[in-house]
Amino acid sequence: MKEALDLTLLNPHADDFVVTPVSFRLVGRRGLRKYNYLVDEPIRRGHRPVVLVDGTLSSLIEQSIFIRLPKWLRMLILRIEVFIWLRINELSGKVDIHWSLDTIQDRSAVYAFSYKNCVGAFEQRRVTFAAFDRAIINLSHYFIRTGEKARNIARLPNALIHADSDHRNNPYFKKFFPGRSVDIVLPFAVARRFATKRSLLERRPTCAATGSFHNLRNEEPVSYYSDFIGFFDSYTYHPVRKLIYENRARISDWLDCRVSPFRESGRSRLFERLRKVLRLDALQAKYFSFDIVAFYNDHVFAVVGEELSGAPAVGFFEAMACGCVLLGQADYYDGLGLVPGRHYLAYDGSLDSMRAALATAAGDPALVASISRAGLDYVQNHCTPDAVWHALQQAVIEAPRRSTP
């Protein structure tokens, strides 16, 4: 295999999937950086990641407003923003920034997150996607403006969908992507700080619960979430997390809840609209205000609720890296090689099923030890940044070059 394929990252400054955007730094929020291996691994190998800033997206101004500004003003704002972005992420001098498609020589593949790149000013970006042999579209957060994203992705004959599990059996995915499958299925890359520090015998025989959940009634504008709400009749992406949070007092004898609402309630609609326009996506402070590695290492079991739209949570693999025995709903791990009863405990999403699975496992210490070891082996073999980067490289190189319009 070729040592490294130069993936052109499209507008990674605009969100927190890869590194921290400027808007997050302004409000003191930490970026999730779930896919930071896209820049970290090339740099670690002595390469310079290729970034294309196409002038359509800023992390500071909502794109429906940003795109209406004169191009010269947008580019001026972005020159300043990207300069700061490189500095705060310690990427200055390590990344090749392109401001025009014309300066990019290797057009083997462009990589973009559908979250912002497949909505809004998509018509301008479609020209960019079409200029590459392959357009790799990461489906993370596809539950927002789903119909619009699906229609736009369908217009890209060279599109390859990348997701964190195989969504083909998920009813929501099937509705909006009929006849389509996920082209590249890869687990999350787990940050190196997530590690096993205590043996199972030194831990509490209870279950750790982590994550945050949205109340879509508090999000603006509501039209962005109408596809999801209408399909599931749900106002949260993570119903298991919400269920745990609402019942945390009565289940505290067997479950330690660190789940929290994504936003605080009680804010006015004017505040929420300003937050949306100015990209001040405020705080998940409660979720980040404790040592999550120590928390996982203090428990034998862990649960991190999945997304209704088909994706597992990065916390599932982070807890697994800490040696926890995870509880999971089997359908969300399709295509990843994870086997219920071997790598994790299966349950149906209810508290009764969760408690029954824990009770059964607690009576079989050998099974608990075996699942913990198998989960840890899986993470070490498949979820390191190095392993995921290599798997992505190979998947893209082996993918067919589809015709472009």
pLDDT surpassing 60 at residue 277: no
Would the pLDDT of 164 be above 60?
yes
Residue with the bigger pLDDT between 343 and 27: it is 343
Helix (H, G, I), strand (E, B) or coil at 86: helix
Domain count for the chain, please give it: 2
Give which of 89, 15, 13, 2 is closest to 47, Cα–Cα: 2
Arithmetic mean of pLDDT over the chain? 92
At 282, the amino acid letter reads A
Same domain, 210 and 309: yes
Q: What is the average per-residue pLDDT within 85-102?
A: 97
Question: Quick check: 274 pLDDT over 60?
Answer: no
pLDDT at 204 over 50: yes
The pLDDT of residue 268 is above 60: no
Give the pLDDT of residue 402.
60
Would you state the pLDDT for residue 332? 96
**DSSP-derived 3-state class of residue 271:** helix
Q: How far apart are CA 153 and CA 236, in angstroms?
A: 25
**Do the domain assignments include residue 314?**
yes
Residue 273 pLDDT > 80: no
Q: Are residues 142 and 156 in the same domain?
A: yes
Q: Is residue 163 part of a domain?
A: yes
Beta-bridged to residue 241, according to DSSP, are none
Instruction: Give the residue-averaged pLDDT of 80-100.
Output: 97
Q: Is residue 142 part of a domain?
A: yes
- Structure tokens given for 357: 């699975």
Beta bridge partners of 135: 110, 159
| Better pLDDT: 113 or 6 | 113
pTM of the model: 0.91
Residues 154 and 61 in one domain: yes
Domain with 289, as residue range(s), is 200-383
Q: How confident is the model at residue 3 (pLDDT cuts 50, 70, 90)?
A: low
Same domain, 280 and 334: yes
Amino acid in the structure at residue 77:
I
> Mean of the pLDDT values across residues 181-196?
95
Is the confidence at residue 286, as pLDDT, over 90? Answer: no
Does residue 288 surpass a pLDDT of 70? Answer: no
- Residues 105-129 have a mean pLDDT of 95
Assess whether 19 and 121 both reside in one domain: yes
Q: How confident is the model at residue 266 (pLDDT cuts 50, 70, 90)?
A: very low
Half-sphere exposure of 77 (CA within 13 A, CB side): 21
Closest CA to 135 of 159, 157, 154: 159
Label residue 246 by pLDDT band (50, 70, 90): very high
In the prediction, which pLDDT does 399 show? 81
Does the structure show a pLDDT above 80 at 263? no
- In this structure, the answer to whether residues 356 and 390 fall within a common structural domain is no
pLDDT-derived band at 29, boundaries 50, 70, 90: confident
Give the closest residue to 327 by CA, choosing from 356, 307, 298: 356
Residues 151 and 287 in one domain: no
> Are residues 279 and 308 located together in one domain of the fold?
yes
175 and 219 inside one domain:
no
The pLDDT-based confidence of 220 (bands split at 50, 70, 90) is confident
Q: How many CB atoms lie within 10 A of CB 350?
A: 11
In a domain? residue 195: no
Band (262; pLDDT cuts 50, 70, 90): confident
Read off the amino acid at residue 63: Q
Task: Judge if 263 and 302 occupy the same domain.
Answer: yes
> In angstroms, how far is CA 5 from the centroid of its own chain?
22
Q: Tell whether 99 and 157 lie within a shared domain.
A: yes
Tally of CA atoms within 13 A in the half-sphere of 46 that contains its CB: 1
CATH number at residue 365: 3.40.50.2000
If asked whether residues 207 and 179 sit together in one domain, one would say no
Reported confidence tier of residue 59, pLDDT bands at 50, 70, 90: very high
Residue 289: per-residue pLDDT:
61
Query: Is residue 403, in this structure, part of any structural domain at all?
Result: no
Evaluate whether residue 194 is within a structural domain: no
pLDDT at 271: 46
Predicted confidence at residue 403, as pLDDT, reads 52
Quick one: pLDDT band at residue 284, thresholds 50, 70, 90?
Answer: very low
